[in-house]
Amino acid sequence: MHRPDIIPSKAASLRTLTATMAVMCYLACLAVGALILIDRAVDAWASGLSQEVTVQIRVTSDSDLQADINKATELLEATSGVVAVADLGEEAGKALLEPWLGSDGLDALPIPRLLGVKIDETSPPDFDALAAALQEAVPTASLDTHRRWEAELTRMAGSLSILSALVLLLIGISAVAMVISASRAVLEGNRPIVDVLKLVGAEDRFISRQMDRRFLSTGLWGGFLGLALAIATFLALGYAGWAASPGLAAASRGLFYVPTADTWLPYVALLAVPVAATILSLVTSRLALTRMLQR
């Protein structure tokens, strides 16, 4: 025969605690997911920038553009550490200028030509020496290693990571305070039941075990409900269109589906949230119940 629980599962105070846990876990999972996405974006940016540099060849009135391109290409291909050189064509320069100047009248401008240079990451060339050699062989050429942009992107991503971590910390502090308050409300609302059990001779260990079971169930329900809502949010970001933000959509899908060396990390990090919520619920309820039983 099934024995009724000390605290009914449909108690209003218990439902409030479950809702509180679910909301806090949902926000925490979003913050954890954002941290993972930012870290992956930084790695992808740094990897892409370290694999390629760009040579810009300016157009002047007294220069032969094609001859300059040929000289620069020959010099680059003869340089140790350079894997491949590709002329990106006139359209690449126009594409860079269009967002700023528009497409009208670009044909009349002396648009520089760009050479994409793929670098051997394990044995990169001496960029200072390469820039000097390019300047000597082709005075209109200049080397852009993208290091300044890489530093800026890394700095920005670091700031976003710190911000996400602070948000996660604030969510954790708020969750602790709200769960403590909700747990006390649950126990205080059912104090008469606890008093009756003590009056009839129930041991503190029995009462604690019954309470732990109820709060374990509450923590798991709230935690995994918040986790499910967070996963649904990331999937919605990935598959519900977002034509204006294709990068965000791809990153959200990649959080679970892209096979990388750290594929396990999102699952472990997100699963840690409901586990932490359950432990928090158990510890908070046990401390509050201990003080109640000692009165």
| pLDDT digits (tens), the chain, 295 positions | 445 555 665 666 677 778 888 888 888 888 888 777 777 777 767 666 667 888 888 877 777 778 888 888 888 888 888 888 888 777 777 777 666 666 676 666 777 888 888 887 778 788 888 888 888 888 888 888 777 777 777 787 778 778 878 887 887 787 777 777 776 776 677 777 777 777 777 677 777 777 777 778 878 888 889 889 988 888 787 776 554 445 556 666 666 655 555 567 677 878 888 888 888 777 877 777 777 666 6
Q: How far apart are CA 22 and CA 28, in angstroms?
A: 10
Q: How far apart are CA 63 and CA 112, in angstroms?
A: 12
Where along the chain do its domains lie? 12-46+150-293, 59-139
CA 218 to chain centre: 28
Tokens, residue 78: 């003869």
Q: How far apart are CA 169 and CA 252, in angstroms?
A: 22
Q: How far apart are CA 25 and CA 175, in angstroms?
A: 8
Question: Backbone dihedral region of 38: left (phi > 0), alpha (psi from -120 to 50 degrees) or beta?
Answer: alpha
pLDDT for res 271: 85
Q: How far apart are CA 108 and CA 103, in angstroms?
A: 11
pLDDT for res 1: 43
Quick one: DSSP state of residue 85? Answer: E
Question: Backbone dihedral region of 241: left (phi > 0), alpha (psi from -120 to 50 degrees) or beta?
Answer: left
Q: Which residues pair with 82 in a beta bridge?
A: 119
Tokens, residue 17: 């605690």
pLDDT for res 184: 72
Tokens, residue 217: 């169930």
3-state secondary structure of 127: helix
| 8 Å CB contact between 79 and 132 | no
Q: Residue for token digits 């590709």?
A: 86
Q: Which long-range contacts (CB under 8 A, 24 or more apart) does 73-79 make?
A: 73/115, 75/133, 75/134, 75/137, 75/138, 76/115, 76/117, 76/130, 76/134, 79/125, 79/130, 79/133
The residues near 235 (Cβ < 8 Å, ≥ 6 apart) are 252, 253, 256
Short-list 42, 44, 35, 34, CA closest to 234: 34
pLDDT for res 243: 45
Q: Checking DSSP bridges between strand 141-144 and strand 82-87, what pairing results, if any? A: unpaired
Q: How far apart are CA 107 and CA 179, in angstroms?
A: 65
pTM: 0.65
